[in-house]
Amino acid sequence: MASHSDQMKPVEFTLFEKAQLKMVPNKLKILLLLMAVVVVANAVTVAADYVRPPPRKNLQFPWDPKPSSQPQQVHVSLAGDKHIRVTWITSKSSSPSLVEYGTSPGKYTSRSHGESTSYSYLFYTSGTIHHTVIGPLEHNTVYYYKCGGKGPEFSLKTPPSEFPITLAVAGDLGQTGWTKSTLDHIDLCQYDLHLLPGDLSYADYIQSKWDTFGELVEPLASARPWMVTQGNHEKENIPFIKDGFESYNARWKMPYEESGSMSNLYYSFEVAGAHVVMLGSYTDYDVNSEQYNWLKADLSTVDRKKTPWLLALFHVPWYNSNYAHQGEGDDMMEAMEPLLHAAGVDLVFSGHVHAYERTKRVYNGKSNPCGAVHVTIGDGGNKEGLAQKYKEPSPEWSVFREASFGHGELKIVNSSHAFWSWHRNDDDEPVKSDEVWITSLITSNCVATKETKQA
Ligand SMILES: [Fe+2]
């Protein structure tokens, strides 16, 4: 698999972090040096094959110490039918994993206790990370809640039980001025749930940046479920020292157990009339791998009468006419595209390439009326800027492509029709740049045809 061009910059240390380094023992210095070598080694093998405009700088987060038991970085995610997982972090380890909640402000008629974890990463130790599942909850209802019995009250809205439902989609977020612009635009949208196809914080080994990312997204992620899957920037592995995804798995627990998966790196969920599979581009996907077998079993449970729409998300795009990351998704595509196609997946969202692209319905490398529409939407606003160079001529399957930051909105109106729009935020103005009505595959002969063939 080709090396990754997102990691063009080696680890940078602030003055404060340099001061911390002087105080660490030689053993740790060696570990840090090894870590930096790994990152730089990745950087020197990347292709400087596209020109990016000046990216916006990382946001500055003022030092804001909070009381040790006050909840920080609050976010929520779906956790099975009628249940929501509330995640937050406290400095104090003895703070309870308690969520009190109710449908009126300040009146908490229910309470749930959850679990907590923490992790150490070289000389960094995380706060206590709490995960508490609340429910059963009513659909399409605002709940007010408090975490650990302390701090401010938050509110969230549960998704509707049926159409219409609106999904916001943006990947490769990071925490720059562009990220803020994208989040502000999403906040203006009436949406029910956020889908994030990988690359969240761009912490890139600097663990405190996971914390600042958690604070940055809290206003949105505490109010609507955020369903995420991993990208390469979540790996943070160090050969012989650290396995990958330690921070990501500890902080962004998704409903993998609820969906029969053995790994937080792939899972599925259902919302309104959509079944959504969240796959891992950076874990085994070959035929007979655990992920492959789980996907096969999961897709076999899909009832298109109950969930007429079938969506898939993963980080590395399979249909990409940008020069950036060209061919990186080929192996996964070869292994898994037949499964998705046989199941009749309607839409696939991916990230990784820092630009936007939408395809026709495609399968096996060319347009196919029974294939999925693929959307690359790795344009959330990260520090690395845009991938501007496209292959020419444009492939026959590519409908729309543009290198701008932005986000997408999928409004599933009913079992047959959904409206997809992509909103770029050039000049800090939300501009609807691409839009299309998509009809579901169950309204065609495609799904029925495949069932007939299998029979
Ligand atoms: Fe990526």
Task: Tell me the three state secondary structure of residue 381.
Answer: coil
Residue 52 lies in a domain: no
Peptide bond into 393 cis (omega under 30): yes
Compute the average pLDDT of residues 250-275.
98
Average of per-residue pLDDT across 207-227: 97
In a domain, 54, yes or no: no
pLDDT category of residue 18 using cuts at 50, 70 and 90: very low
Catalytic residue positions, numbered: 325
Reported as a single tens digit per residue, the pLDDT across 32-86 is: 455 544 443 333 333 334 344 567 878 877 666 666 789 999 999 999 999 999 9
pLDDT above 80 for 399: yes
- Nearest-CA neighbor of 76 among 222, 203, 220, 194? 222
| Chain Cα centroid distance, residue 31 | 29
6 in a structural domain? no
Q: pTM surpassing 0.95?
A: no
What's the DSSP call for residue 160?
P
Mean pLDDT throughout 437-444?
96
Q: What would the pLDDT profile of 92-121 be if each residue is shown by its tens digit?
A: 888 999 999 999 999 999 999 999 999 999
Asked whether residue 146 falls in the same domain as residue 177, the answer is no
- pLDDT on residue 383: 87
The residue from 44, 60, 83 where one domain ends is 44
CB-based burial label for 59 (10 Å; 0-12, 13-18, 19+): middle
| Within-domain flag for 233 | yes
- CA–CA dist 36, 204 (Å, integer): 10
Residue 278 lies in a domain: yes
Q: What is the pLDDT of residue 13?
A: 34
Q: Which amino acid would we find at residue 322? A: N
Domain identity same for 258 and 205: yes
Domain of residue 40: give its range.
Answer: 15-44
The predicted structure's pLDDT at residue 64: 66
- C-alpha of residue 53 to centroid of ligand 1, in Å: 18
* Between 68 and 405, the higher pLDDT residue: 405
Please give the distance, rounded to the nearest whole angstrom, from the Cα atom of residue 199 to the centre of ligand 1: 6
| 181 Cα: distance to centroid of ligand 1 (angstroms) | 20
261 and 146 within one domain:
no
Ligand 1 centre to CA of 248 (Å) is: 14
Q: Could you say which of 129, 157, 185 is where a domain stops? A: 157
- Could you tell me the distance, in angstroms and rounded to a whole number, from the CA of residue 20 to the centre of ligand 1? 29
Domain boundary among 133, 157, 181: 157
Count of structural domains, the chain = 3
231 Cα: distance to centroid of ligand 1 (angstroms): 5
pLDDT confidence of 2, banded at 50, 70, 90? very low
Which H/E stretch holds residue 185?
A: helix 177-187
pLDDT for 26: 57
Rounded mean pLDDT of 391-401?
97
Q: Are 239 and 387 in the same domain?
A: yes
* CATH code, domain carrying 133: 2.60.40.380
Least trusted range by pLDDT, from 159-168, 229-238, 309-318, 380-389:
380-389
In the reported structure, the alpha carbon of residue 7 is separated from the centroid of ligand 1 by a whole-number distance in angstroms of 9
DSSP string, 199-268: --S--TT-THHHHHHHHHHHHHHTTS-EEE---GGGT--BTTTB-TTHHHHHHS--STTTTT-S-TTSEE
- Give the count of alpha carbons within 13 A of 100, CB side only: 15
All residues with CB under 5 Å from ion ligand 1: 6, 199, 231-232, 352
pLDDT confidence of residue 448? 60
Rounded to the nearest whole angstrom, what is the distance from the C-alpha of residue 335 to the centroid of ligand 1?
20
Is 390 within a domain?
Answer: yes
- Rounded mean pLDDT, 303-331: 97
Most confident option among 17-21, 42-46, 287-291, 431-435: 287-291
The answer to whether position 110 is within a domain reads: yes
Identify the pLDDT of residue 43. Answer: 34
Q: How confident is the model at residue 360 (pLDDT cuts 50, 70, 90)?
A: very high
| Residue where the block lists tokens 């909640």 | 101
Determine the 3-state secondary structure of 135 from DSSP. coil
Q: Residue 281 pLDDT more than 90? A: yes
